[in-house]
Chains A and B, each alone.
Chain A
């Protein structure tokens, strides 16, 4: 359907261009027109296509919610009485029936009879909306065309007006970036707000017990769920620390080696290697962590455990012998590997921004390269490198796939790298990939976590970018 709309708009636009051009030619006779006929054509095209496109896009965005409202108005009581869960399923089936597909469920008596009726009603509402938006778009195009036909005169500054439109269109493009941020904040805040209505913010931020499994129906036995996110924050923090312990020294040292020691040839080999490492999708790192690093580390610690068992360190041995694949160390180590190229390339840039004159000054004093690096370059580059590391921390906190695949689900409050921990991102994925119900605190808690994650990473990024920017300006 959308393709047909777009095709029609395209055709109308093309017609408007040709028409506008001809009109401009005809009306230009005997006068000195300001703009060329083609520019008048483009002006006509804009006035025909843009209103129609706006109508189509608006109807695309709003027809879904509108349709739901319209359907809700006349829904029979037997359907309204259903639990939200079942009601959704009923409407999904009604839609399928309306489009000639078999229903997914068998519905009991009153509902079974209402299903085809509802199906017909839904389809008719859908049709009405579709035709309505199509007609509205056409009308908009015609009105635009009528308006523009009065505007095509030799004196009209069509080129300037077209350029104004282009300026506006480009401006709208950059506003999309702002809208994205607004969208993120709005969608996270809206659902988080609903979550915090059910669970107080304080309990969420400072509670130490996390078990989001709530009974789906009120009559089910089971816990009411606990939403203290501290274990998740601790797990995220632990894995981030492990990752930075791997990434910071290796990344930094390789950046130092690349920028201060390596010759052109070494650089031309190592740089692509790091780029490949940076380009590997995180899901691949997750696979690597889950099936290679995890088992390898487990075997390693189990062997040590078996060796120690019965000795003076028997207790430690017992513990090590039972270490699991999904320890924090696995996810942290692999995440560290993932961050190496990130830290390295950022630090490389930072070190290269340190002026050569400082190196010359130090060498001329008789310093060795390592003394120059340690005593002059690193202190000079410190703010920049701190910024780079903060950005890496932000990435580590927000990283999802490695932890989802290699860290556990158990919300342990521990700082032992050999224990299983879970992270904010793992919980978001887990909460939102199972069966969802949109009003339960369990599902909504994912948005609470998401908002926390967004705010923390945003803060880190802003600070880091500030630091790096000030640092760069210092040497510009």
Chain B
């Protein structure tokens, strides 16, 4: 490499250049391919998200409207019990009269009326019974009664049950479909926004089931969670960040918090079951137990988030306050914490949104059972939105599937609102040092 003439060096350089050039094409092809893999990976993630959301909207959008039938019912004094109207089989009455109006002869066992009756929701009975209970003078008259269609009839009108399916494989017979279409032609069937979905609690009848009970249950639970987790989490973070001596014990607490953040949520459910229910005998499936479990679960992430926003406050602020003669506590509570507050609140909201969607621990503390109605107290059994989704997804009625997707949309809407609030809070109050 030393005694080379300029010509030799030049030749060597040329050979080297040739060699360099030779590999270039292949290397650039590899580069393009690698970049393509990256694009494909990103594309896959985006496609998954789009499919996920699209499928939920596709399955759920039909749950937001529903069909109601309005039929004239002659409240036959012979069959309506004035003293106990709930005991009257109004659906049967309406079904028989509907058949009679169309001049259809029923057989002896009344199988046609039974089929017709299955087109109406059992709600018809309660609507009629309410009416009779309020105004007993309507007995003996013919009054229009409006009630939801049964879930299967509703599904047919939404096009979810196809006539093409063989009769024995679908939930409605050809005859029922004919009747349904006839009623529709006569204009007694109307479709409208499904308010029941937002104003009712859970029900065994899909057409009457709503998310309100679960929304209130989730809200009560989150209230408990927030009241417990936020003060505890902020307190712990302040202690660790501002007061804790640096020693082995503090290290253990830190490592412990990091590990708790990664403990599977179902383990918290087991903790709740063993500690709060079996040992402390707190009421099963109640918001107080749910809230406690979610609070313990949210605590580590909350502590970590709070600490990082406390860390972001520059030490100069602390030094300035201390130099003015403020005590450590005064410095923290009148200067550091207020400055870190936007970050703390953002972290709190995000961890609450996360807790809102958590399901597994709720199943273990009993929130898998059917809870009708809307809860009022924190110590009675409630349902929660995510557990409602689980229950509905498991239900055998097909009409619950669209409602599951609708409930998911409600849940996601709440989460979006909470996350948006967090983002706005961050944008609005975030300080850059």
Q: Do any beta carbons of A and B sit within 8 angstroms of each other in the complex?
A: yes
A residues neighboring B (CB under 8 Å): 61, 64-65, 67-68, 159-160, 163, 166-167, 169-178, 180-181, 183-184, 187-188, 190-191, 249-254, 256-258, 261-262, 270, 273-274, 276-277, 279-288, 290-292, 337, 340-341, 344, 368-371, 373-374, 391, 394-395, 397-401, 404-405, 425, 428-429, 432-433, 438, 446-447, 450, 453-454, 457-458, 461-462, 465
Q: Which of A64, A250, A256, A398 contacts B280 (CB 8 A)?
A: A64
Across-interface contacts of B273 in A (CB, < 8 A): 432
Q: Which of A291, A341, A438, A465 contacts B45 (CB 8 A)?
A: A341
Across-interface contacts of B401 in A (CB, < 8 A): 291
Q: Which of B28, B40, B45 contacts A368 (CB 8 A)?
A: B28
Provided the pairs A184-B267, A291-B393 are in contact, do residues A171 and B281 lie with their beta carbons within 8 angstroms?
no
Stretch at the interface among B86-94, B125-133, B160-168, B359-367: B359-367
Across-interface contacts of A457 in B (CB, < 8 A): 262-264, 267
Across-interface contacts of A397 in B (CB, < 8 A): 264
Query: In whole angstroms, what is the CA distance A313 to B363 when docked?
Result: 44
Q: Which residue of A lies closest to B60 (CB)?
A: A287
Across-interface contacts of B321 in A (CB, < 8 A): none
The answer to whether A253 and B236 touch across the interface, beta carbons within 8 angstroms, is no
The answer to whether B270 and A446 touch across the interface, beta carbons within 8 angstroms, is yes
Is B432 in the interface zone, CB < 8 Å from A? no
The answer to whether A183 and B271 touch across the interface, beta carbons within 8 angstroms, is yes
Across-interface contacts of B404 in A (CB, < 8 A): 287
Given contacts A180-B260, A400-B265, 8 further A-B contacts (CB under 8 A): A188-B271, A188-B274, A250-B41, A283-B390, A337-B52, A341-B45, A404-B390, A454-B263
The answer to whether B393 and A453 touch across the interface, beta carbons within 8 angstroms, is no
User: Would you list which residues of chain B between 250 and 308 have a CB under 8 Å from chain A?
Assistant: 252-253, 255-260, 262-268, 270-271, 273-275, 278-282, 296, 299-300, 303
Chain B interface mostly = helix
Q: Mark B217-229, 1 if CB is under 8 A from A, else 0.
A: 0000000000000
Quote the shortest CB–CB distance from B379 to chain A (angstroms).
9
The answer to whether B263 and A166 touch across the interface, beta carbons within 8 angstroms, is no
Q: Which residue of A lies closest to B253 (CB)?
A: A174
Provided the pairs A181-B260, A432-B273 are in contact, do residues A292 and B31 lie with their beta carbons within 8 angstroms?
no
The answer to whether B267 and A249 touch across the interface, beta carbons within 8 angstroms, is no
Query: In whole angstroms, what is the CA distance A234 to B404 when docked?
Result: 31
Across-interface contacts of B19 in A (CB, < 8 A): none
Quote the shortest CB–CB distance from B211 to chain A (angstroms).
14
The answer to whether A174 and B236 touch across the interface, beta carbons within 8 angstroms, is yes
Q: Which residue of B lies closest to A447 (CB)?
A: B270
Query: In whole angstroms, what is the CA distance A288 to B48 when docked?
Result: 11
Q: Mark B26-49, 1 if CB is under 8 A from A, else 0.
A: 011011011101111110111011
Is B405 in the interface zone, CB < 8 Å from A? yes
Q: Which residue of B lies closest to A450 (CB)?
A: B270
Q: Which of B42, B360, B394 has the most CB of A within 10 A?
A: B42
**Which are the 4 A-B pairs with shortest beta-carbon distances?**
A398-B264, A281-B357, A257-B38, A173-B235
The answer to whether B239 and A173 touch across the interface, beta carbons within 8 angstroms, is yes
Is B171 in the interface zone, CB < 8 Å from A? no
The answer to whether A270 and B46 touch across the interface, beta carbons within 8 angstroms, is yes
Q: Mark B54-87, 1 if CB is under 8 A from A, else 0.
A: 0110010000000000000000000000000000
Q: How large is the interface on B (under 10, 10 to 19, 20 to 34, 35 or more residues)?
A: 35 or more
Quote the shortest CB–CB distance from B293 to chain A (angstroms).
11
The answer to whether B296 and A277 touch across the interface, beta carbons within 8 angstroms, is no
The answer to whether A428 and B393 touch across the interface, beta carbons within 8 angstroms, is no
Q: Which of B44, B274, B405 contacts A191 (CB 8 A)?
A: B274
Provided the pairs A286-B393, A401-B390 are in contact, do residues A249 and B41 lie with their beta carbons within 8 angstroms?
yes
Q: Which residue of A lies closest to B279 (CB)?
A: A65
The answer to whether A64 and B267 touch across the interface, beta carbons within 8 angstroms, is no
The answer to whether B274 and A273 touch across the interface, beta carbons within 8 angstroms, is no
User: Would you list which residues of chain B between 99 and 126 have a CB under 8 Å from chain A?
Assistant: none
Q: Which of A175, A256, A273, A286 contacts B390 (CB 8 A)?
A: A286
Query: In whole angstroms, what is the CA distance A133 to B42 when docked?
Result: 60
The answer to whether B281 and A337 touch across the interface, beta carbons within 8 angstroms, is no
Q: Which of B41, B51, B258 has the most CB of A within 10 A?
A: B41
Query: In whole angstroms, what is the CA distance A249 to B280 when docked?
Result: 46
Query: In whole angstroms, what is the CA distance A166 to B337 when docked?
Result: 14
Is B181 in the interface zone, CB < 8 Å from A? no
Is B419 in the interface zone, CB < 8 Å from A? yes
Query: In whole angstroms, what is the CA distance A429 to B208 when docked?
Result: 28
Q: Mark B387-427, 1 if CB is under 8 A from A, else 0.
A: 00110011000000100110010011001000100000000
Query: In whole angstroms, what is the CA distance A180 to B229 when docked?
Result: 12
Q: Which residue of B lies closest to A182 (CB)?
A: B256
Query: In whole angstroms, what is the CA distance A191 to B359 when docked?
Result: 23
Query: In whole angstroms, what is the CA distance A277 to B419 when docked?
Result: 13
The answer to whether A337 and B408 touch across the interface, beta carbons within 8 angstroms, is no
Provided the pairs A170-B235, A284-B411 are in contact, do residues A401 and B360 lie with their beta carbons within 8 angstroms?
yes
Query: In whole angstroms, what is the CA distance A389 to B241 when docked?
Result: 29
Quote the shortest CB–CB distance from A40 to chain B (angstroms).
16
The answer to whether A257 and B39 touch across the interface, beta carbons within 8 angstroms, is yes
Quote the shortest CB–CB distance from A450 to chain B (angstroms).
4
The answer to whether A429 and B364 touch across the interface, beta carbons within 8 angstroms, is yes
Q: Which residue of B lies closest to A251 (CB)?
A: B41
Q: Which of A279, A287, A425 has the most CB of B within 10 A?
A: A287
